[in-house]
Amino acid sequence: MTRRPVDLGDPDRLYTVTGGRSRADDEKFDLVTLVVSECRPSPGMQSEHVRILELCERPIAVVEISAELRLPVTVVRILLGDLLSTGRITARHPRAGRSLVDLPDSSLLEEVLLGLRNL
Amino acid sequence: MDSAISELPSRTPLAASADTGLKIVIVGGFGVGKTTLVKSVSEIRPLNTEEVMTQAGIGVDEPAGLTKTTTTVAFDFGRISLNDRMVLYLFGAPGQERFWFLWDGLFSGTLGAVVLVDTRRMSDSWYAVDRLEHHRTPFVVAVNRFDGDHASFSLEEIRQALALPDHVPLIECDARVRSSGKQVLISLVDHLRELARAREMTP
Ligand SMILES: Nc1nc2c(ncn2[C@@H]2O[C@H](COP(=O)(O)OP(=O)(O)OP(=O)(O)O)[C@@H](O)[C@H]2O)c(=O)[nH]1
Ligand SMILES: [Mg+2]
């Protein structure tokens, strides 16, 4: 798989998808936040919302939704914010630290190691 | 985006109990084997997506003072289900300079990083090593031995060339081979566990 040149897609389309908003307001979805749907799509829903609800019948990471929908992560965050604020999805946020100082504890890393060894 | 999605036989969903997403980032120069490594260990075909980052900057010509520029970063990723709850995502990230401005925004919360090195272009890795140290992101260095490379440099010579401190693990790998890629990840997490243990021992 090769990296493609910078391409924002059709700006008009992104504008339509997000209703003109350019940033996710409330909660910050991490790339690996796992999202789960809490309801089935209902008639009249925006098609991207429908797709997301279908994708997250089982847990799925934000970054996977982005790849499946072929929309930049930024746009997906906005769409997820809509669904979260209306209770249609729940989010399981990650926990690990952002630098050496907040490394996860060794017991979590032990579990990761075990998982890798069992591959 | 990329057409890889349509080539996927079917999406393999995560366990319903999955609740902890973890990430590891693979960095290195162009063509060093990042995508190959992600692919060799991933349970899904590597997917590709992009993030649009907005950077606020002080505009010289703008009386209002603040301008915003957007940068698009494309990256690929793979996935490993570690157990019923934990899912590890591997990100193959570009190594160029402009990318590192975005490191915090993109990959904050990463467990650690793997720097992939091609001995034919060792200087391509300097920047990544430097930036990871700056960001205090723990990492290991893996030398992707391309064919016929074995004779060229010893690990000790590579360590010197990269000015790599002794505490940073340095290993060899073949990014195309699953067991080898797996070993690279194990080295990293083993290193992280040692760091965590050392920290837990200090009162
Ligand atoms: N012989 C050999 N070829 C390899 C090895 N690892 C990768 N390659 C090949 O090298 C080329 C580049 O590998 P990629 O995995 O695409 O490298 P990358 O770092 O993702 O490249 P960019 O994303 O373009 O920076 C591909 O044709 C791979 O098949 C290796 O260990 N040995
Ligand atoms: Mg690549």
Q: What tens digit of pLDDT does each residue of A36-62 get?
A: 999 999 999 999 999 999 999 999 999
Give the pocket of ligand 1 (CB within 6 Å).
A 3; B 28, 30-36, 92, 144, 146-147, 174-176
Q: Give the sign of the dihedral formed by CA B181, CA B183, CA B185, CA B188.
A: negative
Mutate to test the interface with A, among B8, B47, B52, B55 (most CBs of A within 10 A): B52
- Collapsing DSSP to helix, strand or coil, B92 comes out as strand
For the domain made up of A14-118, the CATH class stated in words is mainly alpha
Q: What pLDDT does residue B1 have? A: 45
Question: Does pLDDT of B10 surpass 80?
Answer: no
| Ramachandran angles phi, psi of B180, nearest 5° | -70, -45
A66 at B interface, C-beta within 8 A: yes
Contact criterion met (CB < 8 Å) for A98 and B52: no
- Collapsing DSSP to helix, strand or coil, B48 comes out as strand
Q: What tens digit of pLDDT does each residue of A69-113 get?
A: 999 999 999 999 999 999 999 999 987 555 444 689 999 999 999
Work out the pLDDT band at A16, boundaries 50, 70, 90. Answer: low
Query: Ligand 1 centre from A70 Cα, in Å?
Result: 24
Q: What pLDDT does residue A4 have? A: 37
Residue A21 corresponds to which tokens in the numbers above? 């908003």
Q: What pLDDT does residue B2 have? A: 44
Question: Does pLDDT of B55 surpass 70?
Answer: no
Q: Cβ distance B14 to A60 under 8 Å?
A: yes
How far apart (Å, rounded) are the C-alpha atoms in residues B118 and B67? 39
- How many Cβ atoms are within 10 Å of B153's Cβ, its own excluded? 17
Residue B4 corresponds to which tokens in the numbers above? 């890889």
| Most distant pair of Cα atoms in chain A: their distance | 48
Which whole-number Å values give the CA distances from A56 to A14, A28, A45, B108, B116, in the listed order? 21, 18, 16, 24, 33
Give the chain A residue nearest B111 (alpha carbons): A96
Q: What pLDDT does residue A73 have? A: 93
Q: Cβ distance B72 to B90 under 8 Å?
A: no
Which residue among A60, A70, A95 sits closest to B20, beta carbon to beta carbon?
A95
Q: What pLDDT does residue A18 have? A: 65
Q: Cβ distance A54 to B31 under 8 Å?
A: no
Within 13 Å of residue A3, how many CA atoms lie on the same side as its CB?
A: 22
Q: What pLDDT does residue B105 have? A: 72
Q: What pLDDT does residue B7 have? A: 47
Query: Ligand 2 centre from B100 Cα, in Å?
Result: 17
Domain B2-201: which CATH number of 3.40.47.10, 3.60.20.30, 3.40.50.2300, 3.40.50.300: 3.40.50.300
Work out the pLDDT band at B107, boundaries 50, 70, 90. Answer: confident
Query: Ligand 1 centre from B146 Cα, in Å?
Result: 9
- Collapsing DSSP to helix, strand or coil, B43 comes out as coil
Which residue among A59, A98, A115 sits closest to B18, beta carbon to beta carbon?
A59
A44 at B interface, C-beta within 8 A: no
Q: Cβ distance B135 to B104 under 8 Å?
A: yes
What value does the mean pLDDT take over residues B74-92? 95
Question: Does pLDDT of B164 surpass 70?
Answer: yes
| Ramachandran angles phi, psi of B23, nearest 5° | -140, 145
Q: What tens digit of pLDDT does each residue of B130-153 get?
A: 889 988 899 999 999 887 666 678
A·B CB contacts under 8 A: 179
Q: Give the sign of the dihedral formed by CA A15, CA A1, CA B187, CA B119.
A: negative
Q: What pLDDT does residue A19 have? A: 63
Write down the mean pLDDT value for chain B. Answer: 85
Q: What pLDDT does residue A68 have? A: 95
